Amino acid sequence: MGLGPAQMKILDMLTRHEELISQLYGMYAMKLSRNHALWYAFALEKKEGAELLRTLLVMAFEGAGFDETRFDMAGLQRRLDTARARLNEVESKTLYPFIAVSTALEMESAMIDHRLFEPRDGDADEVRTAMDIIRRKTGARVEKLKQEQAALDQDQDE
């Protein structure tokens, strides 16, 4: 038994979310010369996350299931809408480093807080591995963003 329709939709939504945030971080890299390398690296990490999810989606292999009831479809749609809105804002407005960092920190922290990529019992090994990689990289980005926010706060104090 391969992935069911609900599981396919969830993976598609998660993939699109990762892609949108990758684009957002790419835009940050273009607009913020201060930390171009940081934002570019984040954009690549998000793109890699999307590719991991897309691989699961494309393969739709036997036994690749997961419990889709842990995902709130309306919540996933709100995340997509928010990411799309943020990208549209950045394309049309001036971007300040503090806004970029706080927006990214909010989005990345929400993924951890809602345990979006937390591997669960019953996940197929391939799903568990992909989710764990994305979860760990998200946690590392949150830590880097906190450091960047602290550096910006310190610069502002001086």
pLDDT tens for 15-68 read: 999 999 999 999 999 999 888 999 999 999 999 999 999 988 777 655 667 878
DSSP secondary structure of 67-133:
-GGGS-HHHHHHHHHHHHHHHHHHHHS---HHHHHHHHHHHHHHHHHTTTT---TT--HHHHHHHHH
pLDDT at 1 over 60: no
Say if CB 42 and CB 104 are below 8 A apart: yes
Lowest average pLDDT, out of 3-12, 22-31, 100-109, goes to 3-12
Q: Quick check: 20 and 84 in contact, CB under 8 A?
A: yes
Contact call for residues 145 and 154 (beta carbons, < 8 A) = no
Give the span between the Cα atoms of 37 and 69, in whole angstroms.
38
Q: Which secondary-structure segment (H or E) carries 36?
A: helix 36-59
Confidence of residue 102 (pLDDT cuts 50, 70, 90): very high
Q: What is the pLDDT of residues 65-79, one digit of tens each?
A: 787 888 899 999 999
Q: Where are the domains of the chain?
A: 5-157
One of 2.10.70, 1.10.3470, 1.20.1260, 1.20.58 is the CATH number of 5-157, namely 1.20.1260
